[in-house]
């Protein structure tokens, strides 16, 4: 008898078959690549173009083609950024993996390909806003939806608890230079940006530039880095994956790191296969890659993007069949600022608030 994952995958395949220009929106760990392979195989598709957000995801596709013993005769890959190079492409099916990560301009570059080909969009986390953006640009709607809480309920994902740790920004180290040439702490500089930001809001002027300045401080926060190191020491005997906002923070936690600037490319592969206890990354491990059991997850920085936050958290929700009662233990570090707290609240909209500790 088929297990629940196989049943849901067949449902998704059937739903897409009824609208061959549409999106399968299914939670991480659902098996979107296998579902796509079955669609390709059962429709006798041979010429396939797959767009991925990052090159490291290509290996997951190639590995799954090998694992499931099927690969179409003609498979090409592109990244979302390079999609314009395939503007005139014609084949059996165009697959857009992690479609929610494509920018508005990248989606526009896909327009001609989608118009002339069967198209399968894949996403584990997609907001209504992104859904409408994709629908407006590419006319791709969602044909099948399977959300995180349903995955937890049906044990495709493990249950979870999310611990929020709030920390004050550092007020000791003088590291930021003001326009007047004065060197101030991250707390002082952040406060200056917020003061200007609030003034602009009252004047009904754009604050995008100030938001970026605030985000840069939060991503590189000394206080958050030190608290991350404290948690790593506290749980030093456990297997931990850490998500950071910058490569500099990832490289300075005293543990192995993997990101776009990493020279040792086997670091992520080894950790995914269970070698090593700790790894810090930025975005490279948050989607499209299967990682063997992790005891705890630490998220040093979360954006206000709920899709991005959900992808990070779901890295820790993989089912372990020798530990069926596992509850994923996730720790998010947030500065004690209204700016980041509000962004975190938005970022956690896919998750059950009753499972979030110290959630304010």
Same domain for 309 and 209: no
Could you tell me the residue range of the domain that residue 211 belongs to? 176-218
Same domain for 194 and 127: no
Would the pLDDT of 264 be above 80? no
List the single range of 37-46, 124-133, 328-337 with lowest mean pLDDT: 124-133
List the single range of 42-46, 212-216, 247-251, 284-288 with lowest mean pLDDT: 284-288
Same domain for 277 and 210: no
Rounded to whole angstroms, the Cα distance separating 124 from 26 reads 5
Tokens of 11: 């449902």
Span 145-152, average pLDDT: 93
Query: What percent of the chain clears pLDDT 70, i.e. is strictly above it?
Result: 94
Same domain for 127 and 12: yes
Q: Average per-residue pLDDT in the chain?
A: 91
pLDDT at 1: 32
Beta carbons of 90 and 117 less than 8 angstroms apart: yes
Span 48-68, average pLDDT: 92
Same domain for 285 and 266: yes
Query: What percent of the chain clears pLDDT 90, i.e. is strictly above it?
Result: 72
Query: CATH no. for residue 44?
Result: 3.40.50.300
- Look at the chain and report how many structural domains it folds into: 3
Would the pLDDT of 286 be above 50? no
Same domain for 137 and 25: yes
Same domain for 345 and 233: yes
Regarding predicted confidence, which is higher, 161 or 282?
Answer: 161
List the single range of 37-41, 87-91, 237-241, 356-360 with lowest mean pLDDT: 356-360
Span 279-308, average pLDDT: 78
Same domain for 140 and 115: yes
pLDDT tens for each residue of 186-210: 999 999 999 999 999 999 999 999 9
Sign of CA dihedral 38, 44, 49, 55: positive
Q: Is 136 exposed, middle or buried (0-12, 13-18, 19+ CB in 10 A)?
A: exposed
Same domain for 132 and 63: yes
Would the pLDDT of 319 be above 60? no
Same domain for 243 and 206: no
pTM for this entry: 0.80
DSSP string, 144-168: EEE-HHHHHHTTSB-EEEEEEEEEP
Same domain for 182 and 142: no
Same domain for 130 and 16: yes
Span 83-89, average pLDDT: 93
pLDDT at 205: 94
CA angle 195, 196, 200 (to 5 degrees): 120
Span 336-360, average pLDDT: 88
């Amino acid at each position: 008898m088929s297990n629940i994952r196989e049943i849901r995958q067949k449902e998704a395949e059937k739903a897409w078959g009824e609208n061959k220009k549409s999106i399968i929106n299914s939670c991480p760990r659902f098996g979107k690549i296998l579902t796509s392979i079955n669609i390709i195989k059962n429709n006798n598709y041979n010429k396939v173009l797959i767009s991925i957000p990052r090159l490291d995801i290509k290996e997951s596709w190639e590995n799954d083609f090998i694992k499931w013993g099927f690969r179409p005769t003609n498979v090409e890959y592109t990244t979302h950024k390079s999609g314009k190079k395939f503007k005139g492409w014609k084949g059996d099916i165009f697959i857009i993996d992690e479609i929610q990560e494509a920018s508005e301009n990248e989606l526009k570059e896909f327009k001609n390909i989608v118009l002339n080909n069967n198209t399968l969009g894949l996403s584990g986390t997609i907001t209504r806003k992104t859904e409408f953006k994709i629908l407006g640009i590419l006319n791709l709607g969602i044909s099948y939806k399977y959300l995180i809480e349903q995955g937890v309920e049906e044990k495709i994902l493990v249950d979870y608890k999310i611990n929020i740790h709030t920390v004050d920004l550092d007020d000791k180290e003088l590291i930021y230079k003001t326009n007047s040439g004065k060197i101030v702490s991250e707390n002082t500089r952040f406060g200056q940006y917020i003061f200007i930001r609030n003034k602009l809001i009252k004047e009904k002027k754009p604050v995008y530039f100030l938001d970026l300045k605030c985000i840069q401080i939060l991503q590189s926060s000394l206080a958050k880095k030190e608290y991350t190191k404290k948690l790593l020491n506290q749980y030093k005997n456990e297997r931990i994956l850490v998500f950071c906002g910058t490569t500099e923070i990832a490289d300075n936690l005293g543990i192995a790191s993997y990101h776009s600037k990493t020279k040792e490319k086997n670091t992520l592969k080894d950790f995914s296969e269970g070698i090593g206890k700790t790894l810090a990354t930025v975005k490279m491990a948050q989607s499209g890659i299967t990682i063997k059991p992790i005891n705890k997850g630490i998220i040093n920085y979360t954006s206000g993007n709920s899709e991005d936050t959900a992808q990070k958290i779901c890295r820790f929700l993989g089912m372990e069949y020798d530990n069926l009662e596992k509850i994923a233990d996730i720790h998010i570090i947030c500065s004690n600022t209204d700016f980041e707290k509000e962004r975190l609240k938005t970022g956690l909209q896919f998750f059950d608030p009753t499972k979030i500790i110290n959630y304010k």
